[in-house]
């Protein structure tokens, strides 16, 4: 099926449900100019994950790991939310139950206005004391001191992100599973669907009888499980679905804008 009729069907489906969950990955931020992890120009082509994004890499060479995160913070700081982030922020207000689960650490969903958000992999704009676990908001680009130290106890601060070999925060993961298994529709946007446990969340939706809508320019391991898989860029497709939703709502006389 070509893109246009799929967009219409997806908008029709969305116009009939109340409980929507969204799962995003780095692809949603690609149109804002932030590189994804995998693929031709992905970060993991240039950098070895195990040398930079693991607890052992950090404790072996905190300066190197922090220089990499400082570089990424510098790259992300001037970037603005794109049309995809903006549509999703607006949808939070039109569905009675709507939560966005993201694997991204860039904070762009919040910049776009999303408030109901679960960050599965943390947030690059927060630092965490390796001794006391205290969280510190920090927007300094570049960081003045690398590696940064806790002002209270002088222990190393680390990026508040989940590294390979680490578990996700239990409460966040449980919440994400609950939201995925209780929604009527999950929109899975811009993720390669290969990193667990995030990749399994849409399967919990399907097991509970909900529908999966995937938006991605490429085929992924999730594609064969999706009720609708729309090929293309998130910013463009979400805009098209939004236009169609507005058209349906105007027709029904329920448009709010």
List interacting residues with ligand OAD (CB under 6 A): 25-27, 30-31, 36-39, 42, 53, 103, 121, 162, 190-192, 195, 216-218, 220, 233-234
Q: Residues of 11-35 as b/e, b for ≥16 C-beta within 10 angstroms?
A: beebbeeebbbbbbbbbbbbbbebb
Distance between CA atoms of 186 and 68, rounded to whole angstroms? 33
> Partners of 19 in the beta sheet?
97
Alpha carbon distances (Å) from 152 to 59, 155, 210: 20, 8, 47
Q: Where are the beta strands (DSSP E) in the chain?
A: 19-24, 97-102, 117-119, 122-129, 135-137, 157-161, 185-189, 211-215, 228-230
CA atoms within 13 A on the CB side of 13: 18
Region of 92 on the Ramachandran plot (φ > 0 left; ψ -120 to 50 alpha; else beta) = alpha
Q: Report strand pairing: 97-102 vs 122-129.
A: unpaired
Shortest CB 244 distance to ligand OAD, Å? 18
Helices (H), 77-169: 83-91, 108-112
* C-beta of 21 vs 103, nearer to ligand OAD: 103
Length of the chain equals 257
Shortest CB 255 distance to ligand OAD, Å? 27
- Positions marked catalytic: 121
Shortest CB 45 distance to ligand OAD, Å? 10
Rg of the chain over Cα atoms, rounded to whole angstroms, equals: 19
Shortest CB 221 distance to ligand OAD, Å? 10
Is there a contact between 72 and 34 (Cβ–Cβ < 8 Å)?
no
Shortest CB 27 distance to ligand OAD, Å? 2
Which residues contact residue 205 at a Cβ distance below 8 angstroms, ignoring those fewer than 6 apart? 21, 180, 181, 183, 185, 186, 211, 212
């Amino acid at each position: 099926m070509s893109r246009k009729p799929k967009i219409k069907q997806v908008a029709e489906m969305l116009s009939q449900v109340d409980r929507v969950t969204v799962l995003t990955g780095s692809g949603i931020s690609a149109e804002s100019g932030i590189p994804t992890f995998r693929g031709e120009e992905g970060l993991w082509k240039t950098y070895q994950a195990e040398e930079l994004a693991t607890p052992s890499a950090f404790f072996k060479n905190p300066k190197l790991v922090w220089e990499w995160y400082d570089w990424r913070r510098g790259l992300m700081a001037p970037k603005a939310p794109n049309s995809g982030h903006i549509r999703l922020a607006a949808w939070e207000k039109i569905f009675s139950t709507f939560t966005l689960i993201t694997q991204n650490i860039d904070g762009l969903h919040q910049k776009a206005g999303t408030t109901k958000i679960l960050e599965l992999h943390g947030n690059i704009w927060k630092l965490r004391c390796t001794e006391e676990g205290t969280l510190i908001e920090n927007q300094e680009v570049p960081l003045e001191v690398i590696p940064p130290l806790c002002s209270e106890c002088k222990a190393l601060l680390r990026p508040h992100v989940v590294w390979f070999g680490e578990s996700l925060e239990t409460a966040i993961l449980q919440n994400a599973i609950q939201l995925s298994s209780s929604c009527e529709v999950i929109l899975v946007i811009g993720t390669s669907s290969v990193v667990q446990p995030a990749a399994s969340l849409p399967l919990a939706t399907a097991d509970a009888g909900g529908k999966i809508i995937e938006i991605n320019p490429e085929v992924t391991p999730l594609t064969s499980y999706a009720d609708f898989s729309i090929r293309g860029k998130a910013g463009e497709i979400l805009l098209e679905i939004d236009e169609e939703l507005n058209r349906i709502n105007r027709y029904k006389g329920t448009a709010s804008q």
